[in-house]
Structure 1
């Protein structure tokens, strides 16, 4: 499990980080939920996205990702259903830092119906291979690009080190 270097969000000030919490939601068949940002989304309109978003003042990343998942997809997860997959701290274009943590969550049964918020226009459940084929461009959201890399790394590890799991 990755180390978590922050526990509660603080309001961004000079050189204070922006905190994001995202989720890789996987159904019982191994498909990954991918959202498409709406044309009115302020960042990367029409881009591929994972459920999640800004960690609000006084909120933990886990609290934020649970709130964001429910707001954006109508899905609900108990804290025990979410585990840290990876986290990163990156320079942000405004000179601050962007810190994000990505959780993994498994959906019981088949892929459920999703009710989207205004932030997203569509969704799809992709196989890991389809997920890894998502285009990564300079306009791709950092957490989404990192998730594609993460899934690719897991696939490579299993193929090379644990082929019996396939």
Structure 2
């Protein structure tokens, strides 16, 4: 799903010379149909993401975070059972199960999950720029997912950041139900 989103975004910005930004093997995917349920090379995914961040997003991580928020509504449209109305913990548990369909490796872990708090360990195993952008996208995603489940006063912050030299990235999420 994310790979096809990246390709669709690049294709929609025809005024950008993507061939000057991406290697030949990545350009192949911009000319061929993308199957949403197929697996694609992580290296290509990373390069597409970096190119989008630089050329479309102007390096603005807040826009990446907002894109993560918007992607939740698309996901819910295709998997409405993902959200347990009024129950953020159950929603997060459902996401944990669904996550395996997005990556063929353990990209996200949820070691801490309580009634008003969660820790998400993020490790996409990409370069610093892509890892940071993907982490901000993930932050926006979880903020919106919690919101859809009825959580309020949602606050997300990184307590560890691999792109700044920490051994891993940890996203801390807090919320209330009032």
- Higher RCO (CA 8 Å, separation ≥ 6 residues): 1
Under a length normalisation based on structure 2, what TM-score does the superposition of the two structures give?
A: 0.29
Structure with the greater alpha carbon radius of gyration:
2
Alignment TM-score, normalising by the size of structure 1: 0.30
More strand by share: 1
Tell me which protein shows more helix as a share of its residues.
2
